Chains A and B, each alone.
Chain A
Amino acid sequence: MTQSSIPIRRILMRMIFLASGVVLAVTTTAFFAYELLTFRQSSVQQLQILSQAIASNSTAALAFDNADDAAGVMGAFKADPHIAAAALYDVHGKLFATYPRGLPAARLPANPGMPGYSFGRNSLIGFEPVAEGARQLGTLYVDSDLGLMYARIRLYALIVFLVIGISLPLAYFISRRLQHQLLRPILALADTTRAVSERHDYTVRAARTGAYEFDLFTDTFNHMLMQIQQSEGKLHAQLGRLSLLQHITRATGERQDLPSIFQVLLVSLEANLPMDFGCVLLHDAAAQSLTVSALGASGRSYADKLGLAEHTSVPLDANGLSRCVAGHLVYEPDVLETPFPFPQELAAAGLRSMVIAPLIVENHVFGVLLCARGGEHAFSSGECEFLKQLSEHVALASHQARLYGALQQAYDDLRQSQHAVMQQERLRALGQMASGIAHDINNAISPVSLYTESLLEREPNLSARARGYLTTIQRAIEDVARTVARMREFYREREAQLTLERVDLNRAVRQIIELTRPRWSDQPQQRGLMIDLKTELQDSLPDIMGADNEIRDALTNLIFNAVDAMPAGGTLTVGTRRGADGDGSDRVLIDVSDTGVGMDEDTRRRCLEPFFTTKGERGTGLGLAMVYGMIQRHSAELDIQSAAGKGTTVTLSFPAFTSSAVSVNTMINRPALTRRLRILLVDDDPMLIKSLQDALQDDGHQITATHGGQAGIDAFAAAQKRGETPDLVITDLGMPHVDGRKVASSIKMLSATTPVILLTGWGQRLAAENDIPPHVDRLLSKPPRLHELRAALAELAP
């Protein structure tokens, strides 16, 4: 209600007052007018009657000229105090008698007027003929003042005021009483409407008052309120469902994997729709069945009754499921009426109504959402519509999750590839560096190796002590050479062809266990720990084709990792066994198991990445990466089973050796040295030249040593001119300005038949890169070993 509007009570009061006031005014005016009119008439009549009586009684006085008697007769006017004056005139118009007596003649008309009565300014004047029979005897003049009339008017005015004064308050009180009756229902309705509009409470109802029209009004109003309440309820439910839809949409949008999307969908629906049982089934078009993908948590008891669990398959027949799979929303108000196995099972489990909504992506139904309630006809059309919309949203979210998964997979692959590339680059740099270092070390230890071997071989008179020392030196040199060689293992990815040989894995395992004993036995014992090592080696295991050293390195790494994973001790098990892969071919497997800390999922996923380590500063992150590289080069397989706290088992699976595999490495028999040779020695390292020269001269060969490539070529040419062409040329590969390759090619140009042996600190690498230069007949790595050198000489220059 606005401030300016007038309350209905006041309007009614005004109307009543106006109406009653007008009625009163009209009534009193009419009364007044009527009274005045009739009063005038009655005044005239009364005066006339009085005058006629007086006139009649005056006839004798006039007839017989008795003025006293006439005056006496007119004395009767005293009865009317308003008769101001009266007079009798005789038939000649002469004044005969007056009333009151002695009234001055000036107060009276000089002559009698025509008979009749008329109102003057303040008086009623009448002339009445005085006649006896037909004979007129005179005229009576009467003058009545209007005091009576004025008195009457005053009385009437008083009455009117009294009437108004009484009737208006009376009207006020009566109308108040009556208004109350009239207004009570209206005000009650107004209160109700106010309550409704202020509190938005549509549950209030206006009370009936018993008056028909108002009750009709009230009933209509209540009916309207009821409808509003119903609409509001529907709106509320709709809003609730919208909110639920939004909640679920958001929740599913935040999740990127299907199980968690379905789970949050079912949990939300169970809590908020609500429903008694819900599940999501995925469509398997090939098997013509639906597979349960997710079950609602609170509907588990129903699921148990139905015998449904995750991955349970539900066959598609002509029931609602197949209609749903065809893309329709299916609502079964009462599943009892549906004569198919699945609905009947639902009914048996106590679920009477169900809604099945299809999950459609790109016109393809990939699954259905099933919602069920215990009661029949339990789903409203609004809820069906809601479930339909929801299923579209969920389908979209699922589709997005799938897309996201695929994208994530692609991204992970890409990242892994990027890592691998980076790793390779890094390893390449490392490898190059390692190769350089290895070259220098090989160069440096070459004289030591040559002289030691030479001494042990040619000096029979050495004391036992000296021989022992020299043997130790030789062993140490060999260790250094092996270490340098291992260092170069860092960078082997590019090797196009692997030097494969038959490897007995059991033997390799035994050797490695012995070699690593200090690590798994001695060092832990120093810290008071006990690592129990078990070997479970299967007998009569087939050989495999592989690089023995790589396999040993891989096993070593695996054992070190296992020991590191057991900081508090434990059991380390290394086993070998026979296996078979999918197509039936034999495989040989090595298991390395520990009872250590294990790896969590993330670690397990990343453990093969280069430079990924859990050992902090102690680890390089290359151990398993090298194992993985070996596995790839051997066409083998790697499997890691691990869980946090449950230990780790690494299984390497190699294809078993078959006769078709060819050994590329054959043992070379050491040939006997037959003759003395003219040998040209080309190197830039005087130490090496000296030691090699000494060793070869000791064997009886004629050595021409030159320093540098160009010097070597010149010496060869000079010797050729002299007719002393060397039988064989040994040249270093890495030399400034003119390297071993140029030397070899120049020699071959001068004498195509002269064999060239290339000595290199990079020898292995060249071999690996298939980079043996043309014109080189044999490649020998540094440090050169005498027996290798002799074998090469014997072979190339028989």
Chain B
Amino acid sequence: MAVLRRVLPALLCVALVLTACLRAARGAEAPGEYQVKAVFVYNFSHFVDWPPQAFSAPDQPFVIGILGDDPFGTRMDETVRGEQIDRHPLSVRRLSSIGDIGDCQILYIGRSESARLPQILAALNHRSTLTVSDLDGSAQRGVMMEFLTENNRIRLRINVDAARAAGLTISSKLLRPAEIVATRTKD
């Protein structure tokens, strides 16, 4: 028993260390879903052309807006930190109301905004804002870029008509790996 008393604290220490190490290892190995999505959102800025009137000034920031719940945490900020697109510095804004979406070049619509989606899209009517969402079926509902997960891999579903209607040009390269859909009108 005395031996148990002497060994037990040591075993506990080892178990603690191992656990810590395993967690650390898991975090380094596989980036999280939103880490990837943050990079994807950033990457969109390279494959999509915005019309010049989308910016009021040459040094106006390129704004990525996050409407609703923010699933990225700080990941989005880390991804875009220090980046520029055509001398437009990138900035991330977290938006709470539809009224704030006017200045965004990319607008991520969180899962919490499913119900208000038609209003949001209506509010963005004909503005050159690339809408991105990971709501299922959001592309058919008029969102330009929809993330969907397939075999643990993130895929894109793109509503080209919506983007064209917003005056945005999506690179054909982006279209290749994506699934192209059209806006499904309500019955």
Contact = CB atoms under 8 A, between A and B. Distances in A.
A796 interface: no
Interface string A362-401: 0000000000000000000000000000000000000000
Given A64-B40, A64-B156, A65-B36, A132 B47 contact: yes
A69 B156 CA distance: 12
A758 B155 CA distance: 209
Nearest to B175: A60
Contacts, number: 45
Contact of B46 (A61, A73, A132): A132
Contacts of A68: 177
Interface residues of A, number: 15
Contacts of B40: 63-65
A66 interface: yes
Residue among B47, B154, B174, B176 with max Cβ neighbours from chain A (10 Å) = B176
Contacts of A528: none
B153 interface: yes
A61 B43 CA distance: 11
B173 interface: yes
A56 interface: yes
Given A132-B47, A135-B46, A59 B173 contact: yes
Contacts of B36: 65
Contact of A60 (B47, B153, B154): B47
Interface residues of B, number: 16
B173 A57 contact: yes
Contacts of B46: 59, 63, 132-133, 135
Contacts of A63: 40, 43, 46-47, 174
Nearest to A57: B173
Contacts of B153: 65-66
Nearest to B43: A63
Nearest to B156: A64
A137 to B, nearest CB: 8
Interface in A480-499: none
Contacts of B155: 66
A56 B173 contact: yes
Contacts of B174: 60, 63-64
Nearest to A69: B177
Nearest to A68: B177
Residue among A59, A64, A66, A135 with max Cβ neighbours from chain B (10 Å) = A64
Interface string A126-150: 0000001101000000000000000
A57 B47 contact: no
Interface string A99-136: 00000000000000000000000000000000011010
Contacts of A61: 176-177
Residue among B46, B155, B178 with max Cβ neighbours from chain A (10 Å) = B46
A57 B173 CA distance: 6
Contacts of B154: 64-65
Interface string A57-89: 101110111101100010000000000000000
A59 B47 CA distance: 9
B171 interface: yes
Nearest to B173: A60
Nearest to A56: B173
Interface in A29-74: 56-57, 59-61, 63-66, 68-69, 73
6 contacts: A57-B176, A60-B47, A61-B176, A63-B40, A63-B43, A66-B155
Interface of B: 36, 40, 43, 46-47, 153-156, 171, 173-178
Interface of A: 56-57, 59-61, 63-66, 68-69, 73, 132-133, 135
Given A60-B173, A68-B177, A132-B173, 15 more contacts: A59-B46, A59-B47, A60-B47, A60-B171, A60-B174, A61-B177, A63-B46, A64-B40, A64-B43, A64-B154, A64-B156, A65-B40, A66-B155, A66-B177, A69-B176
